């Protein structure tokens, strides 16, 4: 049976199942326990698992991220929630210098099985200090795995895979998707459902142009594809799911078929996820199949304004994707 499940409930389900499955798993962060989570992702988990497994922390990202990394080094499996990834800047020393580099620097003798998760990128009306996308930042760093879910199935399968992975994983969620319901198959709702890290998913088959996105813009791409289909343009939409390691093979196979590429992301243009995809396509076997230059659709190159109308103009909209596709196809 297929049922509608919100991203919030999918994440809650994943945490519940993994806390139950492995007693080394615990959740910590601001408001995660008694308040049921700032976004209600951890609803009911403190009541069910108690103080040792679901832990409210002081407002000190560097502190609790450090505690979590230390716990992971002695083989517990912490899930460290940031209230927004902008606040992970307070703890970036722990995430990069302690978590990401330790396995390599210890010649593989110290693992750091930790998940850093929380909302990433722009929400609505929260201004510059709460609206940045960190996919490119964390995707830049060897030693980390970075996942960026779109649907409820993505959210559940990737969170479970991240918790079970022996490496540090950064999971970039989107606050505006938390309340959005998606269809979830019976298989996706089973306790053993995981999505392999490092594998993209083709969400829509098409022949004229490849659209590559992650997180919320995947939905925008599908909407743009529906609009363009009315004009006879068939878009293939790829949901990256993982930022690092990047599944460039799926993108290449699509570009070989469609001969056109448009990348879409909420982050800034310079050194972004789209920039990396374009470079990798140019360096690889799919380059000879391109009939036009690849086009990037990104957020505007400014700190996020507070005003609603300015914010809308800074975030890629469906019309921007449609425009980019027509530019790529020269129509």
The answer to whether residues 274 and 298 touch, using CB atoms and an 8 Å cutoff, is yes
Q: Is 130 one of the annotated active-site residues of the chain?
A: yes
SS3 185: coil
d(CA 232, CA 255): 19
Q: Out of 17, 30, 61, 203, which one is annotated catalytic?
A: 61
Cα-flanking dihedrals φ and ψ of residue 322, to 5°?
-60, -45
Q: What strands, in cross-sheet order, belong to the sheet with 242-244?
A: 54-56, 25-29, 77-81, 115-119, 169-173, 145-147, 242-244
d(CA 324, CA 321): 5
Q: Is 61 one of the annotated active-site residues of the chain?
A: yes
Q: Which residue has the tokens 């659209």?
A: 211
Q: Which residue has the tokens 């690889």?
A: 284
d(CA 36, CA 11): 13
Q: Out of 30, 130, 276, 311, which one is annotated catalytic?
A: 130
When computed from its CA atoms, the radius of gyration of the chain, rounded to whole angstroms, is 20
Residue 181: CA atoms inside 13 Å, Cβ hemisphere, count?
A: 6
Q: For residue 276, give Cα distances in angstroms to 168, 232, 240, 249, 271.
A: 22, 30, 13, 14, 7
Residues marked active site are found at 61, 130
């Amino acid at each position: 049976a297929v049922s509608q499940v919100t991203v919030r409930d999918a994440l809650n389900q994943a945490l519940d199942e993994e806390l139950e499955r492995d007693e080394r798993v615990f959740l910590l962060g601001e408001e995660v326990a008694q308040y049921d989570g700032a976004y209600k992702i951890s609803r009911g988990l403190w009541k069910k698992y108690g103080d040792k497994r679901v832990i409210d922390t002081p407002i000190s990202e560097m502190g609790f991220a450090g505690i979590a990394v230390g716990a992971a080094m002695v083989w517990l499996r912490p899930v460290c929630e940031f209230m927004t990834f902008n606040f992970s800047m307070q703890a970036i020393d722990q995430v990069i210098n302690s978590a990401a580099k330790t396995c390599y620097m210890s010649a593989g003798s110290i693992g750091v099985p930790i998940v850093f998760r929380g909302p990433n990128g722009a929400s609505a009306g929260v201004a510059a200090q709460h609206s940045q996308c960190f996919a490119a930042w964390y995707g830049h760093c060897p030693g980390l795995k970075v996942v960026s879910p779109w649907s409820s199935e993505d959210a559940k399968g990737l969170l479970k895979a991240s918790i079970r992975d022996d490496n540090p994983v950064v999971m970039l969620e989107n606050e505006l998707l938390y309340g959005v319901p998606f269809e979830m198959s019976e298989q996706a709702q089973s306790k053993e459902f995981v999505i392999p890290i490092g594998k993209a998913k083709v969400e829509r088959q098409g022949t004229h142009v490849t659209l590559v996105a992650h997180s919320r813009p995947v939905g925008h791409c599908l909407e743009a594809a529906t609009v363009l289909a009315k004009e006879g343009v068939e878009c293939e939409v790829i949901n990256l799911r993982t930022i690092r390691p990047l599944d460039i093979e799926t993108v290449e196979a699509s570009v070989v078929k469609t001969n056109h590429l448009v990348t879409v992301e909420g982050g800034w243009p310079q050194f972004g996820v789209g920039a990396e995809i374009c470079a990798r396509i140019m360096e690889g076997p799919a380059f000879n199949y391109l009939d036009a230059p690849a086009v990037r659709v990104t957020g505007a190159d400014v700190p996020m304004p507070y005003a609603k109308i300015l914010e809308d103009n800074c975030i890629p909209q469906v019309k921007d994707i449609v425009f980019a596709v027509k530019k790529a196809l020269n129509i």
